[in-house]
Structure 1
Amino acid sequence: MTVENEKQSAANVEHTLSSADKEAHDGTSAPQITPEMENKILRKMDIHLIPMLALLYLLAFLDRGNIGNAKIEGLLDDLHMTGQQYSWALTVFFFPYAAFELPSNLLLKKLRPSRWLPIIMLAWGIVMTLMGVVKNYQGLLATRFFLGVAEAGLYPGTAYYITLWYPRHRAQFRQALFFSAASIAGAFSGLLAYGIAKMDGVGGYAGWRWIFILEGLLTVLIAFVAPFGIHDSPETATFLTEKERQWVIHTMRSQSKVGGNALEDDDAQVKETTKFRTKYVKDALTDWQIYVGLFMYWGITCPLYGVSFFLPSIIKALGYTSSTAQLLTVPIYITAAVVAVASAWVSDRRRQRSPFILFFMSMIAIGFIICIASSGRGVPGVVYFGVFVAVVGIYPAFPGNVTWLSVNLAGDYKRAAGMAIHIGVGNLSGAMASNFYREQDAPKYILGHALELGFCVAGIIAAVILRLGYQRINKKRDQMDISRIDRVEAAKMGDRSPMFRYML
């Protein structure tokens, strides 16, 4: 399918979804919504949904990555740890984190998001606080493990939650708003660590301990507020009027069975896409696109975790003090957040995913090439610039990658399972990246930069393969006769239906 045909098809979809004469699932006509009213509804959802989700993820990423700030404030010396033990403390987080994401996403589908997400948030806040009072390496290892257990369900859960509210051609901007909290967390982490470290000696605790304790207590506090800021579904959203609620429900159901194609739907077809079947989980486990997408995911998240855990150390190794290194992380993350949101807005407007992902992954590769070429040559500013370029590529590429896969998985349970597998197994990259930047490689860190570059190049190749595969399948389906296909049976097939078209 050509870009022009895809855009025309998308335009037809949008027109069909908002037309007044289309049958809704309850037998009533869909509310007639003008483009201005549609934008008003989306803004209303943005205001009521995204801030709390972003805050939750900000705190999760803050609590996950603040160990990098604690490291340069004396963590290793006080706990008598080696650089290799520090790497293992980072690594152990990701094994339970990957293992528990799929069951957590299936539980989220069964339970109320306004209850499940705050519960896991409370759990990791308690673990984070306890990390501030550990006495040795074994204690740190145990708390990092249980932090992985508790945080496992948050990102895949909230990423999936967004797909229940927004049409697929509107989703990346919201994913970027939500995920930009991670880059803001990186900025806050440096600022907070700079300030909290000044509490060194208060209450008999070292400054790095207060980083864990205060940030953990903040998470616990927000966990008690979160249930009041999370709305379970469009059907129960009190901030929407009846007409607005019906439009959102109608729009999401209309795209659920064929990925947004402008086709008539019915109750039976919708029920097939939202009913739990073991088959949908098996379909996700055997779907080729998830496994090709994993290499693309690793090409982004290996650099993501490498930077989040070691950026303060990398900058400090350039010759800066600990305090200056903490502060120099801030402009990098702030710029990355702005670029991520702006690029996602353009991506939604163009209804294209892969061109933007490939562009920003190329930026990641260029950034690490600059780091490798300039390390050890007495030009710390150039190395810093290389890291800057890499991070500004990472944060826009990540939500594009997650959104691209999510909009190409049809059926609620398959999407929930597929996203959990993609993100869960994909986050094993954190276990790998935790060992890329070794103490003995400072200050050049050539091995770490080279490994990040290698994963990024592999991810670029995977993204190209994924796009070519989607194009081939779309073209094949365009030539198929679907006039005799039963729509309920097609709905059971999800994105494998001849009616489904992959977004490029």
Structure 2
Amino acid sequence: MGEDGANDEVKLNHSEHIEVATEEIEQNDVRRRKQRNVDLKHVDEAARVLGEAKVDEGSIIVSPEDDRRILHRIDVAVLPAILLVYFLQQLDKSSISYTAVFNIVGETHLVGTQYSWLSSIVYVAQLVFQPLSSYAIVRLPVGKWVFFNILCWGIVVASSSAATNFAGLIAARFLLGIFEASIAPSFIAITQMWWRRREQTYRTAAWNSSNGVCGVFGSLVAFGVGHINNTHLKPYQSIFLFCGCITIATSPFVWFFLPDSPATANFLKGQDRVFAIERLRANNMGTETKVWKWNQFWETFRDPKSYLWFAMLFLAALPSGGIGAFGTLIIQGFGFDSFQSILFNMPYGALSIVAILGGAWLTNKIKLRFPVIVFLCCFPVAGCVALLKLGRGAEERGSLLAAYYILSVFGGIQPMLYAWAPLNACGHTKKVTTTAIFFVAQCVGNIVGPQVYQPSMAPRYTPGLIVDLICWSLLAVVACITAAYLALLNRRQEAKRKRLGKAALVVDTSILTIEDAAKAREYREDAKNSKEQKVTNDQAFLDLTDFENEDFVYVL
């Protein structure tokens, strides 16, 4: 072939390449126009509010001062109700472990694995009702749905005081699991619809730290109630009755103070509502929509990330379930009496708060999740090895307690996963389905966890500790694999943006501080006036999935 022919062929190939790229860009523009013109009921609630306010996409500029003011209002209005409900959930669910040191096994004539099943059955119920719970979160006002569930489980816990045998206890615990099934998934959905991705880490850590607060307060409650001399009620019955009545009495607070969404919250008026929604644009995750989308549901199961989240949540939940049910009994195995075991459980709760909040701070400091998870896994591994190696003599009680307290750092791992997984999925149905998947994993882990510990293993509980050690070690490995896969997805997103004529590399403003986000606003202003097509997050409220929205950035 001659030189002219070769040049013609190069020109032809170049021309074809341009035509393909142009066609792809045009198809993308058509897709956007169709999405923007779709019936408002099929897009995010945020798009409806902005549409009713006649606000053009990306035209609202939220100043740093307004940003801080709105964030403060949201924290004051939304966060207290979340903290209260999650604390009550943990208190009521953990009440079984407080009753353990007051001889609920002997008082109700439990045998074999029956005590272990009183912990596992809660998660069996949550597992069974998780699909219904996920559907309800999409279809119903989330604040009212949470109120209904908290009132019902409070009644169930108070009624548990009437149970005097395994049949009554297992039935009550199953009902407790049904009504608690929606709480954590609801709170993840609420966190996503109110806060930026950087802010979500701290807020998720805050409501998960209620676990530690429960460990301290619940131990004090059990210690105090256990000293009550009542001829009509056993100590375990008094604990159930006290915890249940607290929950029932505080449930109206949730009805009045937990809003359903930014689109309907009473504490936001006029421009403040628009600001609250606009500040979430950089998330590229929307707020909520009341339409269940089956294409997003099935996409979740085609997404490899879903199975990585499942694996990590299972590996984190299994040790949590075992130690949650047998923690006070493990301490009692060091040679302490019932009341001492309850009191020595309090520092464990306090240290888990430090681990949760410290992990959140470190995450936002380095803007990465997986190294923090690997770091947190090192502590329970060390504590577990120490408990396996140490004897159980009176002279080693101090060392045994220290090793047990080191285990408490694993309390910071699960909140990290709660925050990490939802940050990497968008599309309301996909987000809810992703949350359901890893809560199924959590349920399975919490079902299995108490079964690897048995009362007959006292005082060393060697098989359970070995299983926990394996789980924490594997969790660190899977976290690294997940991070590598997310990095690969980000490279694919960059290539997709490049094909569509956009800037390949973008700044993820959702993980920046308010001050840094102000600089990012300058980028958006520049993008409006530039001939080059840049990423302005104009698809943020179209209820697209992370596979469909090329502007989405995955968080490692």
Superposed pair shares fold, TM > 0.5: yes
Partner of 1:229: 257
Amino acid at match of 2:392: G
CA distance in structure 2 between the partners assigned to 1:445 and 1:488 by the alignment? 53
Amino acid at match of 2:332: K
- The answer (yes or no) to whether the contact 1:274–1:411 under 8 Å persists in 2 is no
DSSP-derived class of the 2:361 partner: helix
What CA deviation, in whole Å up to 9, does each residue of 1:70-100 have, x standing for no partner? 0110211111112411112222221111222
Partner of 1:135: 164
**From 93, 103, 110, the counterpart of 1:81:** 110
**From 522, 538, 545, the counterpart of 1:494:** 545
Q: Are 2:428 and 1:428 aligned? A: no
**From 487, 491, 495, the counterpart of 1:479:** 495
Partner of 2:43: none
Cα 1:455–1:220 change in 2 (3 A) is: same
CA distance in structure 2 between the partners assigned to 1:452 and 1:287 by the alignment? 28
What CA deviation, in whole Å up to 9, does each residue of 1:405-442 have, x standing for no partner? 00101111110111122113322111111112212211
Q: How does 1:305-320 map to 2 (within 5 A)?
A: 305-320=321-336
CA distance in structure 1 between the partners assigned to 2:269 and 2:179 by the alignment? 36
* Aligned sequence identity (%): 23
Partner of 1:385: 402
Q: Are 2:276 and 1:248 aligned? A: yes
Amino acid at match of 1:381: G
Q: CA deviation at 1:242?
A: 3.0
Q: CA deviation at 1:114?
A: 2.4
Q: How does 1:3-402 map to 2 (within 5 A)?
A: 26-28=54-56, 30-202=59-231, 204-256=232-284, 275-376=291-392, 379-391=396-408, 393-402=409-418
Partner of 1:467: 483
Q: CA deviation at 1:167?
A: 1.1
Cα 1:331–1:464 change in 2 (3 A) is: same
Cα 1:272–1:111 change in 2 (3 A) is: closer
DSSP-derived class of the 1:376 partner: coil
CA distance in structure 2 between the partners assigned to 1:451 and 1:178 by the alignment? 28
Cα 1:287–1:443 change in 2 (3 A) is: same
Amino acid at match of 1:235: A
What CA deviation, in whole Å up to 9, does each residue of 1:309-341 have, x standing for no partner? 111111111011110110111112112213312
Cα 1:200–1:133 change in 2 (3 A) is: farther
Which of the pair has more CA radius of gyration? 2
Cα 1:120–1:405 change in 2 (3 A) is: same
CA distance in structure 2 between the partners assigned to 1:215 and 1:64 by the alignment? 10
Q: CA deviation at 1:381?
A: 1.8
CA distance in structure 2 between the partners assigned to 1:352 and 1:78 by the alignment? 49
- The answer (yes or no) to whether the contact 1:176–1:344 under 8 Å persists in 2 is yes
CA distance in structure 2 between the partners assigned to 1:250 and 1:285 by the alignment? 30
CA distance in structure 2 between the partners assigned to 1:500 and 1:31 by the alignment? 20
CA distance in structure 2 between the partners assigned to 1:501 and 1:86 by the alignment? 46
DSSP-derived class of the 2:343 partner: helix
CA distance in structure 2 between the partners assigned to 1:457 and 1:32 by the alignment? 46
Amino acid at match of 2:552: F
What CA deviation, in whole Å up to 9, does each residue of 1:180-212 have, x standing for no partner? 11111121221100001112425x110110100
CA distance in structure 2 between the partners assigned to 1:474 and 1:271 by the alignment? 23
Cα 1:183–1:272 change in 2 (3 A) is: closer
Unaligned runs of 5+ in 2: 1-49, 503-532
CA distance in structure 2 between the partners assigned to 1:107 and 1:165 by the alignment? 19
Q: CA deviation at 1:241?
A: 4.7
- The answer (yes or no) to whether the contact 1:31–1:243 under 8 Å persists in 2 is no
Q: CA deviation at 1:443?
A: 0.9
What CA deviation, in whole Å up to 9, does each residue of 1:265-305 have, x standing for no partner? xxxxx799874311112222332112111221122222222
Unaligned runs of 5+ in 1: 1-23, 258-269
DSSP-derived class of the 1:174 partner: helix
Q: CA deviation at 1:154?
A: 0.7
What CA deviation, in whole Å up to 9, does each residue of 1:94-129 have, x standing for no partner? 111122223213212221122110101111111111
DSSP-derived class of the 2:102 partner: helix
User: Which one is further off, 412-421 or 366-375?
Assistant: 366-375
- The answer (yes or no) to whether the contact 2:362–2:372 under 8 Å persists in 1 is no
Q: Are 2:522 and 1:503 aligned? A: no
Normalising by structure 1, we get a TM-score of 0.87
Cα 1:242–1:375 change in 2 (3 A) is: farther
CA distance in structure 1 between the partners assigned to 2:539 and 2:355 by the alignment? 42
Aligned length: 467
Cα 1:177–1:33 change in 2 (3 A) is: same
Partner of 2:519: none
